[in-house]
């Protein structure tokens, strides 16, 4: 297996170097990734494979879990438990890439499961405590509170007494998680979700920032720049933070729920919150990077993107402002199993680079895996890029 040298900040930033991108992968692992992305390149296989897996899990067809765990799960996830993620954390650390343990159990609805998720999230924060290989923790508010309740609150509908009590419990869980992150000095990302619950998530997150971001950015909100209003929201959030005297933690992403957002807006007859086209989304994402760098004295920035240009732009903006590549206020973030050409190259060049490492019981993580598969079809375009890079690396190794 090839190895990397120590990070060297003087290296030019290029994402074409497949030897760097796949340095952590043995030939066998590379082959496995090749066949996985080959399969995901096929819209047919993704569509029918997804339907088949849903059926197979529902009717408990033997070996389904084993097959999934050894293929797609293994590629995109760290394991089923924090302990199982240890190897992945160490492997990433060898290449100076941090791990963000992302407990990816979705769609739960019971108070019991919200309490269990809260306990698990507290463990991820404890695991990150004094651990340079885990620079952030992360969570989704819908992992600790019922989606329909958040929706009702945002719609300003009256809550029943039972719902009032439920809301109090959700707020308590949220504060426990943020407080723990503050006490252990661990950066905490609050993921961005659907627009019809996001105002509630924003309110909770800003309240936590005003409490815990007095000395530096610990709590980070997510800004989905595929929303037409988001660049304005980011600027307003910064102005509010300035007025109230706290640091703003900002994770910038383009956004993962585009089709769902547009469909709902159409069905319910309100204006689509999504940008008119990809160019407008890119323009605002890159403008948001510039805004954060201009105000970096009072912002903690985590750029969550697989877009090569946006990553290069951020590196360029840092250079123009004479910001060291390893400045602790700035992180580049990608998802485990995707865009290694970006993560490994950034880390090699000395930038703070992190990867979300999803984990959880295989069946519970399936919605996350279905999203990755659909994002990686040839329609979405990402897979072709991943697939071509893996193919180039296979050719390069053969010629060696």
Ligand X SMILES: Cc1cc2nc3c(=O)[nH]c(=O)nc-3n(C[C@H](O)[C@H](O)[C@H](O)COP(=O)(O)OP(=O)(O)OC[C@H]3O[C@@H](n4cnc5c(N)ncnc54)[C@H](O)[C@@H]3O)c2cc1C
CB 110 to ligand X: min, Å:
23
> Is residue 171 a contact point for ligand X (CB under 6 A)?
no
Q: Which residue has the tokens 């969570």?
A: 139
Pair 336, 342: CB distance under 8 Å:
no
* Contact pick of 54, 87, 266, 278 for ligand X (by CB under 6 A): 278
CB of 312 to ligand X, least distance (A): 12
Q: Specify the DSSP class assigned to residue 366.
A: H
| Residue among 156, 277, 322, 400 that touches ligand X (CB under 6 A) | 277
**Nearer CB in complex with ligand X: 53/253:** 253
Q: Is 63 exposed, middle or buried (0-12, 13-18, 19+ CB in 10 A)?
A: exposed
| Closer residue to ligand X, CB minimum distance, 97 or 281 | 281
Contact residue for ligand X among 219, 237, 250, 281 (CB under 6 A):
281
User: How many amino acids of this chain bind ligand X (CB under 6 A)?
Assistant: 24
Minimum distance of ligand X from residue 37's CB (angstroms): 15
Burial class (CB in 10 A: 0-12, 13-18, 19+), 260: exposed
Task: Kindly write down the DSSP assignment for every residue of 72-125, as one continuous string.
Answer: HHHHH--BSSTGGGHHHHHHHHHTTEEEEEEE------SHHHHHHHHHHHHHHH
Spacing of C-alpha 142 from chain mean position: 15
The count of C-alpha atoms lying within 13 angstroms of the C-alpha of 293, restricted to the half-sphere facing its C-beta, is 22
Contact 203, 170 (CB under 8 A): no
- Tokens 């160019």, located at residue: 279
How near is the Cβ of 224 to ligand X at its closest, in Å? 5
Which of 25, 127, 254, 329 contacts ligand X by CB under 6 A?
Answer: 254
Kindly indicate which of the ranges 55-63, 175-183, 273-281, 287-295 contains the residues binding ligand X, using the contact rule CB under 6 A. Answer: 273-281
For ligand X, the closer CB: 65 or 233: 233
Residue recorded with tokens 């890159």: 286
143 binds ligand X (CB under 6 A): no
Minimum separation from the CB atom of position 140 to ligand X (A)? 8
Distance of closest approach, residue 311 Cβ to ligand X, in angstroms? 9
Residue 335-374 contact track with ligand X, rule CB under 6 A, x = bound: x--------------------x------------------
Q: How far apart are CA 98 and CA 90, in angstroms?
A: 9
Query: Please, what is the minimum distance in Å from the beta carbon of residue 166 to ligand X?
Result: 24
Write down the least CB distance from residue 297 to ligand X, Å. 24
Find the shortest distance in angstroms from Cβ 281 to ligand X. Answer: 3
135 is a site residue for ligand X (CB under 6 A): no
CA dihedral 98, 100, 101, 103 (to 10 degrees): -160
Q: Which of 80, 120, 191, 261 touches ligand X (CB under 6 A)?
A: 191
Give the nearer residue to ligand X in terms of CB position, either 192 or 300: 192
Q: Are 289 and 313 in contact (CB under 8 A)?
A: yes
Binding ligand X by CB under 6 A: which of 217, 333, 369, 373? 333
305 binds ligand X (CB under 6 A): yes
Cβ closer to ligand X: 24 or 198? 198
Name the residue whose CB lies closest to ligand X.
304
- The encoded tokens of residue 364 equal 């519970």
- DSSP helix/strand/coil, 134: coil
Rounded-to-integer distance, Cα 264 and Cα 7, Å? 46
Q: Are strands 299-304 and 330-335 parallel, antiparallel or unpaired?
A: parallel
Q: Which is nearer to ligand X, 196 or 226 (CB)?
A: 226
The reply on whether position 287 binds ligand X by CB under 6 A is no
Main-chain phi, psi angles of 115, to 5 degrees: -65, -40
Q: Does 271 sit near ligand X (CB under 6 A)?
A: no
Q: Which is nearer to ligand X, 68 or 333 (CB)?
A: 333
Angle at 224 between CA 219 and CA 225, to 5 degrees: 130
Least distance between ligand X and beta carbon 253 (Å): 4
**Binding residues among 192-231 for ligand X as defined by CB under 6 A:** 192, 222, 224, 226
Opening angle at CA 315, ends 340 and 215, nearest 5: 100
Binding site for ligand X (CB under 6 A): 191-192, 222, 224, 226, 253-258, 274-275, 277-278, 281, 304-307, 333-335, 356
């Amino acid at each position: 297996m090839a190895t990397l040298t120590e990070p060297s900040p003087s290296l030019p930033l290029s994402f074409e170097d497949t030897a760097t991108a796949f340095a952590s992968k043995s030939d066998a692992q590379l082959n496995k990734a090749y066949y996985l992305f080959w399969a995901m390149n096929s819209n047919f296989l993704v569509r029918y494979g997804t339907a088949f897996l849903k059926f197979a899990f529902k009717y408990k067809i033997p070996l389904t879990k084993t097959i999934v765990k050894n293929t797609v799960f293994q590629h995109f996830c760290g394991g089923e438990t924090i302990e199982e993620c240890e190897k992945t954390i160490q492997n990433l650390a060898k290449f100076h890439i941090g791990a963000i343990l992302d407990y990816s159990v979705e769609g739960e609805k019971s108070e019991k499961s919200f309490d269990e998720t809260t306990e698990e999230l507290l463990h991820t924060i404890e695991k990150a405590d004094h651990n340079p290989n885990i620079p952030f923790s992360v969570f989704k508010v819908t992992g600790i509170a019922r989606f329909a309740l958040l929706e009702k609150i945002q719609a300003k509908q009256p809550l029943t007494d039972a719902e009032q009590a439920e809301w109090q419990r959700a707020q308590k869980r949220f504060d426990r998680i943020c407080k723990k992150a503050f006490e252990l000095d661990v950066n905490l990302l609050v993921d961005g979700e659907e627009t019809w619950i996001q105002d509630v998530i924003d309110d909770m997150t800003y309240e936590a920032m005003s409490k815990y971001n007095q000395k530096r950015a610990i709590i980070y909100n997510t800004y989905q720049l595929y929303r037409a209003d988001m660049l304005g929201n980011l600027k307003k959030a910064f102005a509010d933070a300035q007025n109230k005297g706290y640091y703003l933690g900002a994770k910038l992403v383009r956004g993962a729920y585009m089709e769902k957002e547009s469909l709902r807006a159409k069905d319910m007859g309100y204006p689509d919150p999504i940008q008119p086209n990809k160019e407008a989304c890119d323009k605002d994402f890159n403008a948001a990077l510039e805004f954060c760098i201009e105000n970096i004295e009072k912002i903690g920035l985590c750029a969550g993107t697989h877009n090569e240009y946006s990553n290069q732009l951020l590196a360029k903006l840092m250079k123009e402002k004479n910001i060291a590549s390893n400045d602790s206020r700035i992180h580049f973030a990608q998802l485990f199993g995707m865009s290694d050409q970006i993560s490994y190259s950034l880390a090699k060049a000395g930038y703070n680079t992190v990867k979300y490492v999803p984990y959880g019981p295989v069946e519970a993580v399936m919605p996350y895996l279905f999203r990755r598969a659909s994002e990686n079809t040839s329609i979405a375009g990402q897979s072709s890029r991943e697939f071509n890079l893996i193919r180039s690396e296979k050719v390069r190794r053969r010629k060696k």
